[in-house]
């Protein structure tokens, strides 16, 4: 019984951490080095993260500076950014690449708010699915007399408490991200 609860909580934590990672990568008008996390550069035939090829820093509120350690890779970094889905055109002087984040429009903010709400709802669905699977395991354990009726009731209550806790954390994350998007 405890094993089922522990496995479920572990899965719920993973779901929450995936949502956090997705939210970090959302471009909210400010320069954020995390938007480059999924951009891979073809570096001598090997897909490599920009953070492994260059120093990435925020020089101004809406400007991200990428300074490759090897100047010969500058063009490849530019090409990778252009082909990615971050939607920003890099400006390069051959040594340093600058990404200037445009000011967000009200429509874009509302669109982003809907997008993050959808991601939050998908995470809640995943949490509820984990709960459902755990409940089925617990009921089959009861059926095979591994646990008693009282154990089942207690486990179901703990499972529901876990579900409520993680759904509430998702709501908190959502509100925080919405506030960040709408303030900028």
Same structural domain, 93 and 41: yes
pLDDT digits over 51-71, tens only?
A: 888 888 888 878 889 999 888
Which residues are CB-neighbours of 27 under 8 A, at least 6 positions away?
35, 86, 87, 88, 101
Distance, CA of 57 to CA of 76 (rounded, Å): 19
| Residue 29 banded pLDDT, cuts 50, 70, 90 | low
Q: Is 27 a residue whose pLDDT tops 70?
A: no
- Is 28's pLDDT higher than 80? no
Domain CATH for 13 = 1.10.132.20
Is the pLDDT at 12 greater than 90, yes or no?
Answer: yes
Annotate 145-159 with b (16+ C-beta within 10 A) or e (fewer).
Answer: eebeeeebeebeebb
Q: What is the mean pLDDT of residues 126-147?
A: 91
Token pair of 124 as six digits: 């809640």
Q: Based on the fold, state whether residues 73 and 164 are members of the same structural domain.
A: no
The two three-digit tokens of residue 149, written as one number: 């009726």
- Full residue range of the structural domain in which residue 171 is found: 2-25+105-183
Q: Where are the beta strands (DSSP E) in the chain?
A: 40-43, 46-49, 54-60, 63-68, 91-92, 97-100
**Residues 109 and 178 grouped into a single domain:** yes
Name the DSSP class of 29: S
CATH of the domain at 51: 3.30.1360.40
pLDDT confidence band for 158 (50 / 70 / 90): very high
């Amino acid at each position: 019984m405890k094993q089922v609860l522990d496995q479920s909580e572990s899965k719920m934590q993973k779901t929450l951490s995936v949502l956090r990672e997705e939210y970090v990568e959302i471009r909210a008008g400010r320069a954020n080095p995390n938007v480059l996390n999924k951009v891979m550069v073809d570096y001598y035939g090997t897909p490599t993260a920009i953070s492994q090829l260059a120093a990435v820093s925020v020089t101004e509120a809406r400007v991200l500076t990428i300074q490759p350690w090897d100047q010969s890779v500058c063009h490849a970094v530019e090409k990778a950014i252009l082909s990615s889905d971050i939607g920003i055109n890099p400006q390069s002087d051959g040594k340093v690449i600058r990404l200037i984040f445009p000011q967000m429009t009200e429509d874009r903010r509302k669109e982003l708010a809907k997008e993050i709400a959808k991601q939050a709802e998908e995470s809640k669905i995943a949490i509820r699915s984990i709960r459902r699977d755990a409940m089925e395991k617990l009921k089959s354990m009861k059926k095979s007399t591994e646990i008693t009726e009282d154990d089942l009731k207690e486990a179901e209550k703990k499972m529901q408490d876990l579900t409520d806790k993680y759904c509430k954390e998702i709501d908190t994350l959502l509100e925080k991200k919405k506030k960040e998007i709408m303030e900028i």
